[in-house]
A = this chain, B = another copy of it.
């Protein structure tokens, strides 16, 4: 049987990552009557939780693997996470990115010292390119979510939440792309109801949890500003822990996401990217559960092009 992520694995990852990752703050959401907090993971190194899973994976490489380097494919946040984690450990990293990835994410990945290989989303397969690169170099491929070490590293967010609150919250709401973050948190917080938040039309985790089996995104998928959540199919490794935890999923509209980005700037003074604000959007829209519960809303990333961001917070963008 394939190895599965576990609660013990998450606890070990959290310990391994102490002093490596930023312990991001739990910010009180005063609109929540004193019982709602935002876990501001956009303040993580590299601007998203991805640095946790990447660091956990890289810290488990053998010496020989470290020397050969790593390869990853990502539209941006995982790219930055792997690039920064690799740079910290002196490991060479090659990242396969779509040619239309947000400029801010490409620049930051390059600034961290990674080699970038662009591909055309419409005509090329990033999986094939990355696999070929990895084979050529005998390098380890670091998946963005379909990997036990990566999932367990992301779960350290949940371990921190419990430590900061002095116990598990009643409910935790988490943006969901491939499901690595939400699966890791579900393992870390078995006493909490877990709600995943996805953009409308990209809510395959919600539909999969409802159906009890993995369903892909229905084509054609709509355009969304949540570039970090555009994953067409979750994996068994991320689905299983969420299903076992009884998690459910909700979908948010582009307008709800834009409002949440503006809210985060104004009331929390954090920069959230659209995908990173999906769970906050669900909470603010009243979609994610009853009021009065002790609730933690995860803001998972803050890498957004300044031009788009200025439009979103200035309220000058069509829903």
Given contacts A24-B25, A43-B25, A45-B28, contact A306 B271 (CB under 8 A): no
A side interface size, CB within 8 A: 33
Q: Provide the main secondary structure of the chain A interface.
A: helix
Which of the 9-residue segments A139-147, A220-228, A260-268 touches chain B?
A260-268
Q: How many copies does the complex hold?
A: 2
What is the distance, in angstroms, from A227's C-beta to the closest C-beta of chain B? Answer: 16
A57: Cβ under 8 A from any B Cβ: no
Within 8 A of B (CB), among A259-317: 262, 265-266, 268-272, 302-303, 306-307, 309-311, 313-316
Instruction: Collect the chain B residues with CB atoms within 8 Å of residue A311's CB.
Output: 310, 314
Instruction: Collect the chain B residues with CB atoms within 8 Å of residue A24's CB.
Output: 25
Return the chain B residue nearest A47 by Cβ.
B269
A22: Cβ under 8 A from any B Cβ: yes
Q: Is the CB of B270 within 8 A of A269?
A: yes
A8: Cβ under 8 A from any B Cβ: no
Q: Is the CB of B313 within 8 A of A306?
A: yes
What is the distance, in angstroms, from A30's C-beta to the closest C-beta of chain B? Answer: 7
What is the distance, in angstroms, from A11's C-beta to the closest C-beta of chain B? Answer: 23
Quick one: which of B23, B269, B316 contacts A271, CB cutoff 8 A? B269
Return the chain B residue nearest A45 by Cβ.
B28
| Docked pose: A265 CA to B269 CA in angstroms | 10
Instruction: Collect the chain B residues with CB atoms within 8 Å of residue A266's CB.
Output: 104, 271, 306
| Docked pose: A287 CA to B68 CA in angstroms | 42
A27: Cβ under 8 A from any B Cβ: yes
A40: Cβ under 8 A from any B Cβ: yes
What is the distance, in angstroms, from A102's C-beta to the closest C-beta of chain B? Answer: 12
A42: Cβ under 8 A from any B Cβ: yes
Instruction: Collect the chain B residues with CB atoms within 8 Å of residue A104's CB.
Output: 266
Given contacts A22-B27, A22-B28, A27-B22, contact A43 B268 (CB under 8 A): yes
Beta-carbon contacts of A214-236 to B below 8 Å, as 1s and 0s?
00000000000000000000000
Return the chain B residue nearest A271 by Cβ.
B269
What is the distance, in angstroms, from A95's C-beta to the closest C-beta of chain B? Answer: 17
Q: Is the CB of B23 within 8 A of A25?
A: yes
Beta-carbon contacts of A32-59 to B below 8 Å, as 1s and 0s?
0000000010110101000000000000
What is the distance, in angstroms, from A113's C-beta to the closest C-beta of chain B? Answer: 11
What is the distance, in angstroms, from A34's C-beta to the closest C-beta of chain B? Answer: 9
Instruction: Collect the chain B residues with CB atoms within 8 Å of residue A271's CB.
Output: 265-266, 269-271
Closest 8 CB pairs of A and B: A310-B314, A269-B302, A269-B271, A310-B310, A42-B269, A265-B271, A25-B25, A306-B313
24 A-B residue pairings within 8 Å (CB atoms): A22-B25, A22-B28, A24-B25, A25-B43, A27-B43, A28-B45, A30-B84, A47-B269, A104-B266, A265-B271, A266-B271, A266-B306, A269-B271, A269-B272, A269-B302, A269-B303, A270-B270, A270-B271, A306-B313, A306-B314, A309-B313, A309-B314, A310-B314, A311-B314
